[in-house]
Amino acid sequence: MIALTPDRLLTVWEHGARCHPIDRALLLFALAEPKTPPQPLADAPLSRRNAALLELYRARFGDRLSAWVDCAACGARMELEFPAHLLPPAPEDFAAPVEVAGHRFHRPTSRHLAGIAGCSDPEAAARRLFLACAELPDTLPQDEPALTELIDAVDAAMDDADPWADLLLAIRCPACGHEDTAALDLGELLWEEIECLVRRLLDDVHTLALAYGWNEREILAVSETRRAAYLARVQG
């Protein structure tokens, strides 16, 4: 794992700011697994990617996860905060295929998600993902009712075998009592934390550069403790 130093944080932010969320998650995945070439990372199961992103998050920002979600019933904004150890255990084998009714399915990857990124119809996207994950798509049922039944069964089997591919949180709105589930996107969660930290770093660089005439590299090389001490003096 590559440490998220201030200088590296700015570089990652600069490269990822205009990327699609899938590409951004892969950029962060590459930091978590620097010895793996980019191509295999795109074909790694989402559960492996998510587990690596969580470890990268914990190494830089600690064990507590914080996120916001809006209630689907009343629109109230809820803050979610919980320790990472409350998430379900990661699967022992990220790559093992899932077998349902004699058909084998690969676990979804970032490349699979990229293949349906432009699909605006959720049902059509789900079907395309199902077909992309099938090991032998030509052997799947041809009649619609049987195919729909298999899709539902595979979806349930994937959730049971690998909840880390699509982490879901059970939530209850404190304002109206509505109960629902919310997806936990570890790539976006980590990116939001990086963006917040980068904004603070840019403010620090701006303030100290004006006060002392130091350049960005010199300021970022100063430890966080010393940088805070200098900022306290500049700001009186």
Both 229 and 115 in one domain: the answer is no
Within the chain, residue ranges assigned H as helices are 6-16, 21-32, 38-42, 46-61, 110-115, 122-133, 144-161, 186-212, 216-221, 224-234
Q: What is the pLDDT at residue 196?
A: 93
Q: CA 87 → CA 73, 82, 223, distances in Å?
A: 25, 9, 33
Both 149 and 172 in one domain: the answer is no
User: For the chain, what is the mean pLDDT?
Assistant: 91
Both 124 and 180 in one domain: the answer is no
State the DSSP string of 148-161.
HHHHHHHHHHHHHH
d(CA 233, CA 137): 66
Count of structural domains, the chain: 3
Both 194 and 209 in one domain: the answer is no
Q: What is the pLDDT at residue 120?
A: 86
Both 192 and 209 in one domain: the answer is no
Both 110 and 132 in one domain: the answer is yes
The answer to whether residue 1 is domain-embedded is no
CA proximity to 153, closest of 174, 173, 130: 130
Average pLDDT over residues 96-111: 93
Both 11 and 75 in one domain: the answer is yes
Both 143 and 178 in one domain: the answer is no
CA dihedral for 74, 77, 82, 85, sign (positive or negative): positive
Q: What is the dihedral of CA 46, 50, 53, 58, to 10 degrees?
A: -170
Both 71 and 182 in one domain: the answer is yes
Burial class from Cβ neighbours inside 10 Å (0-12, 13-18, 19+) for residue 228 reads: exposed
Residue 130 lies in domain: 98-161
Both 145 and 177 in one domain: the answer is no
Q: For residue 152, what pLDDT band results from cuts at 50, 70 and 90?
A: very high
Q: What is the pLDDT at residue 213?
A: 94
110, 136, 161 - which closes a domain: 161
Q: For residue 86, what pLDDT band results from cuts at 50, 70 and 90?
A: confident
Say whether pLDDT at 41 is over 90.
yes
Average pLDDT over residues 81-95: 84
The answer to whether residue 178 is domain-embedded is yes
- How does DSSP classify residue 47? H
The answer to whether residue 213 is domain-embedded is yes
Q: What is the pLDDT at residue 36?
A: 87
Say whether pLDDT at 1 is over 80.
no
Q: What is the pLDDT at residue 105?
A: 95
d(CA 71, CA 182): 10
